[in-house]
Structure 1
Amino acid sequence: MGLGSTAKKIQGLSDRAEAMYKQVQQLQQRITNLEGEVDDTHDTVKRMDHQLAEQRQLLLAIADEHDIDGEQILADAAIDDADDLAAAEADDETDGDGSESGESASTDAGEQPAE
């Protein structure tokens, strides 16, 4: 009786170990596939970044031919983007605690827009 239950326990452990081994193999395969995808994505991003730099230089050259200050346009756009980002972050912080966003929604709901 003792020997039979020991054999069953050993068989159960063996079955669990085999199942875990299969899971580890599957995880290794998934990791290998993900590494390949990450490498492909990295190559694509590098290629796109290079193309974007080329296009920027081309547009700046065209702007220069037309007496347009391309660098100033890019600087203004960067400032606008930074302002938009700061405003979005401020909105996220306001919505985070729920107190101000709930109040503004209830007070704005009954008001008519000025025309």
Structure 2
Amino acid sequence: MGLGSKAKALQTVADRAEQLYAQLMDIRERLARIEDDIEDSSDRVVTIERELEEQRVILDALAEDAGLDIERRIAEASITHAESSGDTNEGGDTDATEEGAAATEDEATEGGNSTAEDGTDDE
């Protein structure tokens, strides 16, 4: 093998090393942008969670002023959701849904709340 072929092989290795270095720098830049995007997204999530908590406090206060039983309504919505999910989810736990429905009905009758009173609350 002559000196020219060794120089050519060495040049090929050097060219390949430059290509790899350029690719590595590109990957580092992309990773830095991804990290920035993740940080921005995290900040947005924190802001949204804070705003959601503020809205919950306001809604709870409004519901309390209006005399609405939020916990009961959430339980009813959960039961309705579980029942509709149970139709498409074969082998689901229907016993827990039925127990929750019975508990909600018991709470409604114990608290003296009737469905007639609830009809005026849905605005």
Instruction: Quickly name the TM-score band, shorter chain normalised.
Output: 0.5 to 0.7
**Number of residues paired by the alignment?**
90
Provide the residue aligned with 1:55 in structure 2.
Answer: 55
C-alpha spacing 1:56/1:79, structure 2 compared with 1 (3 Å): farther
* Runs (5+) with no aligned partner, structure 2: 91-123
C-alpha spacing 1:45/1:69, structure 2 compared with 1 (3 Å): same
Provide the residue aligned with 1:36 in structure 2.
Answer: 36
TM-score (norm 2): 0.64
* Runs (5+) with no aligned partner, structure 1: 92-115
Greater RCO, 1 or 2 (C-alpha within 8 Å, sep 6+): 2
C-alpha spacing 1:87/1:5, structure 2 compared with 1 (3 Å): farther
| Inter-partner Cα distance in structure 1 for 2:30 and 2:41 | 16
Q: How far has the Cα of 1:78 moved from its partner?
A: 3.7
| Inter-partner Cα distance in structure 2 for 1:87 and 1:51 | 35
% identical equivalent positions: 36
Provide the residue aligned with 1:14 in structure 2.
Answer: 14
Computed over aligned residues only, the root mean square deviation of the Cα atoms, in angstroms, reads 2.1
